[in-house]
Amino acid sequence: MADFVVTNWFGDLVSHAQAVAEANSAADVVNVLKNPAQYPSPVRAVGANHSTTPCAVVNGGTILKMSGMNKILDISNNTVTAEAGALYIDVAQALEKQKLQFYVNTEIGNLSVGSAACCGTKDSSMPGEFGQVGSYVSRIKMALPSGDFLVVTDDQPELMQQVRSSYGTFGIVCEATFRVRPIQPMAVRHQTFTLDEFIQKLPSLKAGSESIMFYVFPFDNLITVEFRKYDPSASGDPNRVIWPLRNYLWATAGPAVCANAEKDLADKTVRYGVIDGFNKLWRWKLENLIQSGNTIATDQIIRYPPTGGVSRYTFSLWAFPAATYPAVLRACFQFCQQYYQQNGYRVNMLFVGYSVAKDQSSLLSYSYDGDMMTIDPVSTGNPGWDQFLAAYNQFSSGQGGVPLFNQTNGITPAMAQKALGGRLKTFAAARQAYDPEGRLLNDYFRNILGN
Ligand SMILES: Cc1cc2nc3c(=O)[nH]c(=O)nc-3n(C[C@H](O)[C@H](O)[C@H](O)COP(=O)(O)OP(=O)(O)OC[C@H]3O[C@@H](n4cnc5c(N)ncnc54)[C@H](O)[C@@H]3O)c2cc1C
C-alpha cells in the first residue's frame, strides 16, 4: 500500500496517505471525489496546512492539495471571489491595489480561502464588527461527495450557517466570495497593565471605541493591550513600517530567540531569564514603537515561509465568555505557575488573547452565545508542550471554554460536546445529508462528531 507522508506547517501532525492529488480546477476536485478506487476515503482537502490540530490528517485516505486553485476570480461591488487555494495575503494585496480591504485582517496570511470559508478563525473584532473571517463570506461553491456542485449564498441562512463551520465535512470548497470594503486609516497603540489593573479596567476597555487584543505574560503578571480603531479623519501618508516591524519580531525574531534559548540554555533559570528579558523588550517595543494614528489594516497580515524553519511556532486556543474572562485569566496565571512548579515545564513564548464579538454567522461559532475572549498559549513546541496542552485543555474545558476544531489541539469528544452541545448534534445530522457514506470523515472528525 502506498504511503505518502504529508505534514502540517509546524511539522508535528503527520498524514500517511494512500493517495495525494493536486487540484487545479473544480473538475479535478470532482474527479477525486468520484473515484474512490484511485482516491480512497477519507478525502481531506489541504490549503496551506497551517492548522494545529489533526483536522486535515488522514491515515490511509487521500490528501487533496488545493494550492493550485489560487485564482482571484472577481473583485466588484465590494466583494471578492477567489478559488479555494488562494492565500488570504495574496487576495488582500490584490484588494489593496483597488483601495479595498478585508473586514477581518488576521495575522496569518497563509490562510487559504477554502479554509477561511469553512473553518474557525480569530482576530479581535473591530468595534461593531465580527472577528471571524467566515462571517463575511456571502457565497460558497462546494463539490459534494456525489460529484455535484452546491452553491450556498446568504439567501439560504440556515445552510450558510452550517457550511461556514463545515471544516470540509459537507464538501470541498472550490471558491468563495467575501464582502470587503474601502481601505480606511487604522490607528493602533499599546499599553501594559498588571493583572490586577487589567481585571479592574477590562469593563471600560471593552466598552471603549477600540478593538482590544492581548499579549499575555503569565510569569510576569502583565498584559499588554493592543488598541485599534478606524479613523477616517486621519490624513497624510499611512505609516507602512510599524506592522512589518511587529510582524518581523512576532513571526521571525521572537520564535527564533525562544527556540534558541530552549536549545542552548540547559539551566532553566537562565533560559527563562533570557526569554522573560526578550518579552520585556517586546512590551517596550509595542508600547513605544508600534503606534500610529494612520496605518493600513492589510499590513497586519503575515506571509509565513512555506515550511516552518527556525522561526516555526505553534499554539492552541480556548475562548471564554467575556463575563468570566477576568476570573479565568487569573486562574490561568495560577495554573501556569503551578504547572511549572510541579512539572518543571512552562510555555516558552508568550500567550495572546483576542476579544471576539458575539457571532451566530456559523453554527459552530465559538462566540455563538455571546462576546468571547481567548487565551492562546504560544510555543516553539519544546518537550512537554503536548502534556501541558492536555492539562490546559482540562483546565479550559472546566472553565467553560469553547475550542476551535482547527486551532485547539488535543480536545476530547466530551470537551467538544460540553462546549457545543446541541449545535454539534444538529451539525452532525445536517452533514450526513451531504456526505452519507462518510467520504470526507477522517478519524478526527469521526471521533468528535460521534459517527
Ligand atoms: C504560525 C501560525 C499563525 C496563525 N495565526 C492565526 C491567526 O492569526 N488567526 C487565525 O484565525 N488562525 C491562525 N492560525 C491558524 C490557521 O489560520 C488555521 O489553522 C487555518 O485553518 C489554516 O488555514 P489553512 O489553509 O492552512 O488550512 P488547512 O490547515 O490546510 O486546513 C484546515 C481545515 O480545513 C479543511 N480544508 C482546507 N481547505 C479546504 C477546502 N478547500 N474545502 C474544504 N475544507 C478545506 C482541511 O481539511 C482542514 O480540516 C495560525 C496558524 C499558524 C501555524
Residues 253 and 75: their CA atoms lie apart, in Å, by: 35
Mutate to test the pocket of ligand 1, among 119, 125, 144, 409 (most ligand atoms within 8 A of CB): 119
Residues 227 and 240: their CA atoms lie apart, in Å, by: 18
pLDDT of residue 1: 77
Cα 303 to averaged position of ligand 1 atoms, centre (Å): 14
The ligand 1 atom at the shortest distance from the C-alpha of residue 50 is: 26
Mutate to test the pocket of ligand 1, among 7, 8, 102, 112 (most ligand atoms within 8 A of CB): 112
CA angle 247, 249, 250 (to 5 degrees): 65
Span 206-217, average pLDDT: 97
The ligand 1 atom at the shortest distance from the C-alpha of residue 122 is: 11
Encode 68-98: b = buried (16+ Cβ within 10 Å), e = exposed.
Answer: ebbebeebeeebbbbbbbbbbbbbbeebbee
Cα 10 to averaged position of ligand 1 atoms, centre (Å): 12
Cα 335 to averaged position of ligand 1 atoms, centre (Å): 28
Q: Which residues contact 106 (CB under 8 A, 6 or more apart)?
A: 88, 121, 122, 123, 133, 300, 301
Q: CB of 101 within 8 A of CB of 182?
A: yes
Three cell numbers, residue 378: 504560544
Cα 108 to averaged position of ligand 1 atoms, centre (Å): 9
- For residue 293, pLDDT over 70 is answered with yes
Residues 192 and 382: their CA atoms lie apart, in Å, by: 27
Cα 52 to averaged position of ligand 1 atoms, centre (Å): 8
Mind listing the domains of the chain with CATH numbers?
Answer: 4-65 (3.30.43.10), 72-183+421-432 (3.30.465.10), 186-411 (3.40.462.10)
Span 230-242, average pLDDT: 97
pLDDT of residue 450: 87
Cα 330 to averaged position of ligand 1 atoms, centre (Å): 30
Cα 314 to averaged position of ligand 1 atoms, centre (Å): 12
Report pTM. 0.98
User: In the structure, what pLDDT confidence band is assigned to residue 451 with cuts at 50, 70 and 90?
Assistant: low
Cα 85 to averaged position of ligand 1 atoms, centre (Å): 11
Residues 375 and 153: their CA atoms lie apart, in Å, by: 33
Atom 3, ligand 1: residue with shortest CA distance: 108
Cα 350 to averaged position of ligand 1 atoms, centre (Å): 21
Q: What residues are in contact with ligand 1 under a 6 Å CB criterion? A: 9-10, 44-51, 55-56, 66, 84, 106-108, 110-112, 114-115, 118-119, 121-123, 167-168, 172-173, 304, 313, 406-407
Q: Which tens digit of pLDDT belongs to each residue from 251-267?
A: 999 999 999 999 999 99
Three cell numbers, residue 119: 473553518
Cα 417 to averaged position of ligand 1 atoms, centre (Å): 22
- For residue 327, pLDDT over 80 is answered with yes
- For residue 307, pLDDT over 90 is answered with no
Residues 170 and 380: their CA atoms lie apart, in Å, by: 33
Calculated CA dihedral for residues 206, 210, 216, 220, nearest 10 degrees: -90
The ligand 1 atom at the shortest distance from the C-alpha of residue 404 is: 19
How distant, in Å, are the alpha carbons of 68, 73, 98, 174, 298 from that of 94?
Answer: 18, 11, 7, 19, 11
Span 307-314, average pLDDT: 92
Q: Which tens digit of pLDDT belongs to each residue from 16-44?
A: 999 999 999 999 999 999 999 999 999 99
User: In the structure, what pLDDT confidence band is assigned to residue 413 with cuts at 50, 70 and 90?
Assistant: very high
Mutate to test the pocket of ligand 1, among 111, 141, 252, 441 (most ligand atoms within 8 A of CB): 111
Mutate to test the pocket of ligand 1, among 51, 57, 66, 162 (most ligand atoms within 8 A of CB): 51
Atom 34, ligand 1: residue with shortest CA distance: 115
Q: Which tens digit of pLDDT belongs to each residue from 341-357?
A: 999 999 999 999 999 99
Mutate to test the pocket of ligand 1, among 115, 170, 356 (most ligand atoms within 8 A of CB): 115
